[in-house]
Amino acid sequence: MANIQSNFLGIKSPNPFWLASAPPTDKKINVMRAFEAGWGGVVWKTLGSQVKNVSSRYSAMDIGGQKIVGLNNIELISDRPLELNLREIREVLKEFPDRAMIVSLMADNDRKSWHEMVKKVEDTGAHGIELNFGCPHGMTERGMGAAVGQDPEIARMVVEWVMEVATIPVITKLTPNVHSVVPAGRAVVEAGTNALSLINTIQSVTGVDLDTLVPNPNVGGQSVFGGYCGPAVKPIALKMLTTIAQDPLTAKVPVSGIGGVSTWKDAAEFLLLGASNVQVCTAVMKYGFRIIDDLTSGLSNWMDEKGFEKLEDFIGKSVPKMTHWEDLDLNFHVTAKINPDACIHCGLCYIACEDASHQAIAKKDGFPYNDYTVKEEECVGCNLCKLVCPVADCITMEEHRVAPEYLNWPEFQKRGLPLNDH
């Protein structure tokens, strides 16, 4: 059996699955139930100055009958008394000393407040601190959250304050509400942060109620921009994670990957692109704590199939495969092939290719259904037909090469080769 035990900054946990700082980690009863279910660690919901939350707080994107493809929230940090949170953290640590206990912090924007908060958290026995530089709503008006993470120099300053007193590992959580996460990542690494986590939620509006005309969520007839998370943000999270893994400076520290992790496959993708562990939130809010069984068994089974004995065997393994467009091989080509035995004759591939691609699928009218075949000489290998096909493996993309040698764009231009659609 593969060993999925995690060692993040010396913080050990039985698996790499942590609960992200969010409602599921807001109080002792939640965290105890999560640990009893088998979660490897938690990031306790952000502690800071006293706040008052509003009602309602959530809205969602539902697509094609699937609920909560993306979740929007306008909830702030923990609205429970600070001392109550600290006491409960101590109590959980006594019950589960083998699980990772990280505490998220968002202090007022001055050195003294950060020093005081760090010391109070360290007194609980917590294993690490996560600095919340990402909350995109509510806290920004107070000069906190994303207002810190969006300015690399402010982020640097706050991390320097924290590192003056911190004696346990410090993780800095980056906001995605920027052109690039690398400048802020570089700044906080230079300031001494021990690790990074990303992404926090993306500022969003999930929709407008067409009866009331009020954007969601509705708070007394008004709304605000919220933080977007869930499966819909995973591609953005993976891109930002990869840029951190590719940068020579930020790649020196471990990364906790966040953003749409719902299955073991998602987790494997994050780890392959440079994360050392993953944090989960929306999937638990939708399905509950017991999904940890599928996450751990699925990841372990996949590792067995691939021959990976431990997480470190494949963390970051896919990062070198991400390159620049101009370095891609222009002589590599694929062509679609339709398996007539698997085809259900729905015509979706034909419609997509005819209206939005290269008219590379031929339709033969018949009764009781039409038949579809690929015009290989017209196919550019774009994958669209395969993506719209509702039958797994009915359409495959078969490789063939225009020429045997590797040819990138700079070399193509250098040789003065003719342009064509293929």
| Nearest-5° Cα angle at 74, 45 to 258 | 50
CATH number of the domain within which 382 lies: 3.30.70.20
> Domain boundary residue among 262, 287, 321?
321
Claim to verify: residue 254 and residue 164 sit in the same structural domain: yes
Q: Which pLDDT belongs to residue 143?
A: 60
Q: Which pLDDT belongs to residue 345?
A: 96
Q: Is residue 215 part of a domain?
A: yes
Tell which wins on pLDDT, 115 or 417: 115
Claim to verify: residue 317 and residue 376 sit in the same structural domain: no
Q: Which pLDDT belongs to residue 59?
A: 95
Claim to verify: residue 312 and residue 386 sit in the same structural domain: no
> Domain boundary residue among 271, 293, 321?
321
Task: Using alpha carbons, select from 162, 173, 294 the residue that is nearest to residue 227.
Answer: 173
Q: Is residue 421 part of a domain?
A: no
> Domain boundary residue among 304, 321, 338?
321
Catalytic (active-site) positions: 135
- CB 171, CB 131: distance < 8 Å: yes
Is 349 buried (19+), middle (13-18) or exposed (0-12) by CB count in 10 A?
buried
| Nearest-5° Cα angle at 226, 223 to 232 | 130
Residues 6+ apart with CB under 8 A from 341: none
Q: Which pLDDT belongs to residue 139?
A: 54
Q: Which pLDDT belongs to residue 422?
A: 43
Claim to verify: residue 119 and residue 260 sit in the same structural domain: yes
Claim to verify: residue 381 and residue 264 sit in the same structural domain: no
Q: Which pLDDT belongs to residue 109?
A: 84
Convert the pLDDT of each residue in 332-379 to its tens digit. Answer: 999 999 999 999 999 999 999 999 999 999 999 999 999 999 999 999
Q: Is residue 308 part of a domain?
A: yes
- Name the average pLDDT for the chain: 94
Task: Using alpha carbons, select from 155, 159, 189, 153 the residue that is nearest to residue 175.
Answer: 155
Instruction: Tell whether the model's pLDDT for residue 398 goes beyond 60.
Output: yes
Number of domains in the chain: 2
What is the Rg, in whole angstroms, of the alpha carbon atoms belonging to the chain? 24
Q: Which pLDDT belongs to residue 51?
A: 83
Claim to verify: residue 254 and residue 364 sit in the same structural domain: no
Q: Which pLDDT belongs to residue 419?
A: 79
Indicate the pTM of the whole model.
0.94
- Written as six digits, the tokens of 295 are 């996450």
Q: Is residue 420 part of a domain?
A: no
CA distances from 304 to 1, 299, 300, 389, 404 (A): 6, 9, 6, 31, 35
Claim to verify: residue 243 and residue 367 sit in the same structural domain: no
- Written as six digits, the tokens of 224 are 């605000």
Claim to verify: residue 366 and residue 397 sit in the same structural domain: yes
Q: Is residue 348 part of a domain?
A: yes
Confidence of residue 413 (pLDDT cuts 50, 70, 90): very high
- In 340-422, at which residue ranges do the beta strands (DSSP E only) sit? 361-364, 371-374, 395-401
Q: Is residue 112 part of a domain?
A: yes
Is 270 buried (19+), middle (13-18) or exposed (0-12) by CB count in 10 A?
buried
Confidence of residue 421 (pLDDT cuts 50, 70, 90): very low
Claim to verify: residue 296 and residue 334 sit in the same structural domain: no
Q: Is residue 376 part of a domain?
A: yes
Considering the chain, what percentage of its residues have pLDDT values greater than 70? 97
Structural domain boundaries enclosing 397: 325-415
Convert the pLDDT of each residue in 12-67 to its tens digit. Answer: 999 999 999 999 999 999 999 999 999 999 999 999 977 888 899 999 999 999 99
Q: Which pLDDT belongs to residue 337?
A: 97
Convert the pLDDT of each residue in 125-173 to its tens digit. Answer: 999 999 998 776 555 555 656 678 889 999 999 999 999 999 999 999 9
C-alpha 96/C-alpha 234 separation (Å) is 30
Q: Is residue 387 part of a domain?
A: yes
C-alpha 57/C-alpha 284 separation (Å) is 17
Claim to verify: residue 270 and residue 338 sit in the same structural domain: no
Task: Using alpha carbons, select from 95, 109, 99 the residue that is nearest to residue 29.
Answer: 95
| Diameter over CA atoms, the chain | 79
Q: Which pLDDT belongs to residue 134?
A: 72
C-alpha 236/C-alpha 171 separation (Å) is 20
Q: Which pLDDT belongs to residue 111?
A: 94
Claim to verify: residue 234 and residue 275 sit in the same structural domain: yes
Claim to verify: residue 314 and residue 185 sit in the same structural domain: yes
